[in-house]
């Protein structure tokens, strides 16, 4: 009989959530922009970084 190995990925979910909260705070987003940041996270980071480079 083969043993089944189960991996716990809660660390990945926690780190993603922590990074998402950091992004909302760092970019000073409103609540609804924060909700959109879940899907558009790279866009907001790109806008902020492009502003720094100008």
Closest CA to 32 of 40, 19, 47, 15: 40
Q: Could you read off the pLDDT of 5-47 as tens digits, one per residue?
A: 877 766 777 887 888 788 788 888 888 887 877 777 778 778 8
Per-residue pLDDT at 49: 86
Per-residue pLDDT at 44: 75
> CA–CA separation, 45 vs 47, rounded Å?
6
Q: Is the dihedral of CA 7, 8, 12, 15 positive or negative?
A: negative
Per-residue pLDDT at 54: 80
Per-residue pLDDT at 41: 74
């Amino acid at each position: 009989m083969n043993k089944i190995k189960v991996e716990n990925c809660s660390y990945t979910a926690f780190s993603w959530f922590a990074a998402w909260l950091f992004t909302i705070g760092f970019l000073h987003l409103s609540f609804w922009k924060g909700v959109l940041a879940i899907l558009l996270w790279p866009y907001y980071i790109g806008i902020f970084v492009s502003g720094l480079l100008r």
